[in-house]
A and B are shown apart, each in its own frame.
Chain A
Amino acid sequence: MKCARLGKRLGTLALALLAGGGLPAWGKSGWDELNMPRGVTNVSTRIYALHMMAFWVCVGIAAVVFGVMIWSLIFHRKSRGAVPDVSLTHSTKVEIVWTIVPVLILVSMAIPAARLLVRINNNTDSQLSIRVTGFQWGWRYQYVGSNVSVISKLSESSTAASMMHSGISATSVPHYLLSVDHPIVVPVGEKIRLLITSIDVIHSWWVPDLGVKRDAIPGFINQASFTIAPNKTGTYRGQCTELCGRGHAYMPIVVRAVSPAAFQAWLKQQSALDKEAAAGAPATGVTSS
C-alpha cells in the first residue's frame, strides 16, 4: 500500500514537472507538500512572493546555462566527429558580459529583498505584546499587560505516541507532533509583537504561516511581529527550529487566531482562571486543543 502511494506521489510529481508550472492543475494538498505556504500575514505572503521570484529567476538562469551545457554535450562530442576549437581560450568581451549581467540580476533581487527585510524588522506600533520563553522542552507565553500566562507543551496524545515502544501509530494521532496541550490565542487584524527569549539553551520560534522565525536565546530578548489578515481566523502550527537537545522535535507551537472580541473573552476567562488557580488549589487551568 505504501508503495502504491509512493508511486502515485512520484506520478503526480512527474506530471507536475511536465505541466511545467501549471500550478492551478495541482491539487492544493499536492502543492502544499512541495512548496512554502503563502501564509496568513502580509509578511508571509510577501516572503512567498520573494521566494517564488527568486525561484523563477534561478529556473531562468538554469535554463540558459544548462541549455548551453546540454547543447555542448550533444553536439560537441568526439563521437560525432567534433573538432576542438583550441583557439577559444578567452574572450574579454564575453567575460565582461557574464560578470555584469549576473550583477544586474542580483541587484534586481536584492532591492525587493532589502525592502521587505526592513519592513519585517519594524516592530513598532504593536497592539499586543506577548513574551515568549523557550525551555527544554516547551514554550511559555505571557500576555503583557495582563496576568495571563500559558505554558505550552506537546499534547498528551502526541507524547504518548512518540515514546519508544509506544505501539501507537503516528497517523492515528491528530496532528502528531504538531499539537500542544495549551495553544496560545491571538486576535486577527491586530499587530502582535513577540518578545522572545529562553531560559536554558537556544531555541527558535517558527510558525511558517505567520512568516515568523526568531531565535530564543538566553540573555537576549529578540523581537518579531505579525498581523494576521482579518479574515484568516484558524489554527496555525509550527515547531522549534534550533536544535535544543533530546526533545527538540517535541516542542511544537500552536497559535489559534480568533476575532478580537473572542480574544478579549478568552483573555478575561484566562485571567479569572489564573486568579482562581493562584488563590486556590493547583488547578490544571486552561482549555485544551
Chain B
Amino acid sequence: MAESHDIAVHAEHDQKPHGWRRWVFATNHKDIGTMYLIAAGTMFLIGGLAAMAIRAQLFKSGMKLFDPAMFNSLTTMHGLIMIFGAIMPSWVGLANWMIPMQIGAPDMALPRLNNLSFWILPFAFTLMIASFFVPGGAVAGGWTMYPPLMQQFGDSFPMLIFAIHLMGISSILGAINVIVTIMNLRAPGMSLLRMPLFVWTWLITAYLLIAVMPVLAGAVTMQLTDHFFGTSFFNAAGGGDPVLFLHVFWFFGHPEVYILILPAFGVISEIIPTFSRKPLFGYEAMVYATASIAFLSFIVWGHHMFTVGMPVAAQLFFMLSTMLIAVPTGVKVFNWTATMWRGSLSFEPPMLFAIAFLFLFSIGGFSGLMLALVPSDYQYHGTYFVVAHFHYVLVPGAVFAIFGAVYYWLPKWCGRMYDMRLAKWHFWLSVIFVNVLFFPQHFLGLAGMPRRIPDYAPQFTDWNMVSSIGGFIFGASQALFPYIVWKCVRSGKPVEANSPWEGAHGLEWELPSPAPYHSWTTPPSAAVLAHGAEH
C-alpha cells in the first residue's frame, strides 16, 4: 500500500501538456493507446457500415442497391479496413496501455517512435478511404489484391498501395517498440516466464509483424512497378507469374491471421483465470503453444490456394502442416477449459465475452480443420463456407476478445466502473446475433454460393436473409459499446480499490485506479511483484 501511496503523490507531478499538444506531441503510452483505440473504433464503424451495405445488397436474390463494381469495392474495403484499420490498431492500443503496466515499466521504451507509429495511421486511413472518391472508385479486387485483376483499377490502386506501405511502417515501428519495451523495461524479478500471457502473446505477435509486413510491402510494390514501370513480376505475357503473387501474399497473409488472433489468446488467458478465481492452467504450455502456432504460421500459406494447381506433394505438405496447427490450438482451448474446471466462476461482462470466445472461436477452429483437408477444400474454397470460417475466428474471436479486454481493463484506465447491465445487453445482443449473422453462411457455402458476388441464384435467398437480419441487429447493437465507454469515462461510479475484480492478479492491479500517468515511476518491489504475479 505504501507503494501505491508513493505513486499517487507522483501522479500530481504528471507534467502532461494540455490541449491539443498533449495528443499531437503525445509520448505517453496511455495517451497514445487511447488514440489508437479511438482510431480503431472509428475504422470499426466505417468497416461496419460497409458490411451493412454488403448485407443489404445480399438481402435477397436480384437486389440491386449497388453496381457490381461498387459492391466489389465495398467487400474489398471492408476487409482492408477491418484488418488493418480496426483489429490491428486495437491490439496496438491495448499493448500501449497494458504492457508497461503489466511488466512494471513507466512507459514504452521508445515514446517518440510510438508517437510516429500512431500518427502515420490517420494519413494511411484517409488515403485508403479517399480512394472511394477518385475516378473509377475504390480498388475492387478483394483485400487479397490478386493480379492481374488488381492491375485493372484506376487511381485508387496506387493510393491503396501507398496506404498499405504507411500502415506497414506503422506496424513495424509499433512492433519494434513492443519488443524493446518487453526486453528492456521489465521490472527486476519479472523474468520472461513470469510475464502475463498478454505480454507474451504480444511479444510473439511483434516478431510476426516484423517478419511479414515487409513481405507484404514487397508484394504490393512489385504490383506497383508492374503497373507503372513496365516490370512483369506477375504478368504472364511478360514472362511473369501471377501465382508468385499468391505465394508471396499468403506468406504474409497467414502469419497476419495470427497477428490478429494471438493477442486475443493473451487477453482470454488474463480474463478466464480472474473470473474463475484460479491461476491459469498450464502457463508454460500456453507460452510454448503460442510460439508453436507462430512458427507453424510460416509454413501453411499454401492452404489458401489449394485450387491454383500446386503439385500434389506441395498440397499434401500444406494440408499436414495446417492440420498440425490444431494441436497447439487445442492445447490452448483445453488449458482454458481446465482453468475454469473446479474454479469459482462469476459472469461479469469480460468473462461473458471470454466464454463466448471459447465456444465460437472453437467453431471457427473446427471449420478450419475441415478446410485443411484438401479434397473437401476443393468444394469449400472461394465459397461462403470460407467467409463463415474466418468471420467466426475474427468476430467472436478477435473482436470479442477486444471487447472483453476493454471491459476488463476500462475500470483501471479511468478509475470508474461502467454500467454492467448495459454491458451485459451488449454482450447478449452480440453473441446471439453474431451467430444469426455468420452461422447460416456455412450452409450457403456448402450449398454452392461463391463469395464476393453481388447477386445470387434464388435458392440462396432464405439463408442470406437470415444472415442479413442477424447482421443488421449485430451492427446496430454495437452502438451500445461506445455509449457504455463514454458513459463510464464521464460519470461511471468511481472504483476505490486497486482492482474491481476479486480474482485479478497482475502488476496492473497493484497500481491505483485510475492508473497514474507514468505507470511505474519506481519499479515494483519484490513483495508487490510476488502479490501481482500469483500465477
Contacts and interface: CB of A to CB of B under 8 A. Distances in A.
Interface of A: 2, 5-6, 9-10, 32-37, 43-44, 46-47, 50-51, 54-55, 58, 61-62, 65-66, 68-69, 72-73, 76-79, 82-86, 88-90, 94-95, 98-99, 102-103, 106, 109-110, 113-114, 116-118, 120-121, 161-162, 164-166, 168-171, 175-178, 200-202, 204, 206, 208, 211-215, 217-220, 222-223, 238-250
A240 B308 CA distance: 14
Given A72-B343, A215-B308, A217-B309, A176 B358 contact: no
B513 interface: no
Given A35-B443, A220-B309, A213 B152 contact: no
Given A90-B284, A170-B60, A213-B378, 19 more contacts: A35-B447, A44-B379, A54-B373, A58-B367, A69-B355, A77-B345, A79-B346, A82-B344, A86-B279, A89-B280, A90-B282, A113-B376, A204-B381, A214-B309, A217-B243, A219-B242, A223-B309, A245-B69, A248-B452
Contacts of A2: 465
B358 A76 contact: no
A214 B381 CA distance: 10
B466 A33 contact: no
B241 to A, nearest CB: 7
A106 B319 contact: no
A47 B376 contact: yes
27 contacts: A5-B462, A6-B462, A33-B459, A37-B447, A46-B375, A50-B373, A66-B359, A69-B358, A72-B340, A76-B341, A77-B347, A82-B343, A88-B278, A90-B282, A94-B338, A98-B330, A102-B330, A170-B61, A170-B455, A176-B61, A201-B148, A214-B307, A218-B148, A218-B237, A239-B453, A243-B72, A248-B68
A89 B282 contact: yes
A220 B310 CA distance: 11
Contacts of A5: 462
Contacts of B147: 201
Contacts of A164: 64, 67
A88 B281 CA distance: 7
Interface residues of B, number: 96
B316 interface: yes
B68 A249 contact: yes
B450 A241 contact: yes
Contacts of A65: 333-334, 337, 362
Interface in B461-493: 462-463, 465-466
A33 B462 contact: yes
A126 B69 CA distance: 39
Most buried by A among B280, B343, B448: B448
Closest 3 CB pairs of A and B: A219-B236, A170-B62, A241-B382
A244 B241 CA distance: 17
Nearest to A240: B450
B386 to A, nearest CB: 10
B320 interface: yes
Contacts of A109: 323, 369, 373
